[in-house]
Amino acid sequence: MATEGWTPRVNTCDETMQPIAYVNGVFCGMEEAKVSIEDRGFQFADGVYEVIAARGRQPFRLQQHLERLQRSADAIGLAVDLDSLTLPKVIDEGIARCGYEDVMVYVQLTRGVAPRKLECFAATRPTVVATFRALPVFSHELRQRGVALRSVRDTRWAYCSVKSVSLLANVLLKRKTQQDGFFDALIIGPDDLVREATSANVFAVVNGILRTPPLSEHILHGVTRDYVLECAKDVGIESREEEMLLRDVIAAEEVFLCSTTKDIVPVSSIDGQTIASGLPGPVTRELLQLFPSSRGR
């Protein structure tokens, strides 16, 4: 079942468009892509990843995504030189090969194939995988009316700033909240401080100021989060990176999520409590207009 609000951007009449994969230097069809069952990414979730949106076949903020991928690899001690992998060239070729105009690029690095032991082997060759699919289109209706969140206590691991392939806790949080009729979970720390959603950063307009939780190990250092802050500065919207209590976010004038594939998604309610008027506010609307998707790309 598709996630609420998403539809694939697929032209089924054009046979030149198809999802493709890249595995350790070789492009192939998705059904042909294979890795060993002894890959540490499969056995231990011992790997990191990035998702990049390419609209009009142009990757958005590619350098920032690759820099974050390198930071994640460094954080888990995965010895890989991204420059040697020529990922920008791989990504450009993959986008051209798949044929879609708007592409979701997924890049994953794992520690590679080794006997199943917890110990890491320095000589293990990393596994490099990339996939290229049609970029999903977020529902215009949901973007106009906003989405409902439910607050949940954080059950994830302690290093959420690392973009790890180990996402089971996020999967379970999102699955449960969607089963209960909510769009996503708003993750809250033990001190009632807002952290993020399962796959998005969170912003709130409180007393006229755009606020978002500060960077820490508890949240992903979002590429789109940075872009929102840059856009706010460019158009003269005052912003602050500071801690926010759940009660303050619920009482905010505006709340929205942001991520690579969603851009900006307004939040209409949290825990059944309506945010202000329940409709996207002026700051949310103004910032959304600065994203490539709102300009047709």
Residue 249 is encoded by which pair of tokens? Answer: 């976010």
Asked about 89 being catalytic, the answer comes back as no
Interval 137-147 mean pLDDT = 93
pLDDT-derived band at 295, boundaries 50, 70, 90: low
Contact of 48 with 120, CB cutoff 8 Å: no
Backbone angles phi, psi at 216, to 5 degrees: -160, 180
pLDDT at 241: 98
Digit-coded pLDDT (tens) for 91-128? 999 999 999 999 999 999 999 999 999 987 766 899 99
Q: At what angle do helices 62-75 and 87-98 cross, to 10 degrees?
A: 120
Domains of the chain, with CATH numbers? 6-137 (3.30.470.10), 140-295 (3.20.10.10)
Full-prediction pTM beyond 0.95?
no
> Which residues are paired to 255 by β-bridges?
204
pLDDT at 124: 80
The answer on pLDDT for 297 being more than 70 is: no
Backbone angles phi, psi at 294, to 5 degrees: -80, -10
Task: Name the residue type at position 259.
Answer: S
The CA radius of gyration of the chain, in Å to the nearest whole number, is 19
DSSP alpha helices (H): ranges in the chain?
40-44, 62-75, 82-85, 87-98, 140-145, 168-179, 223-234, 246-250, 282-288
CA 181 to chain centre: 22
Q: Per the residue annotation, which of 163, 176, 233, 262 is the catalytic one?
A: 163
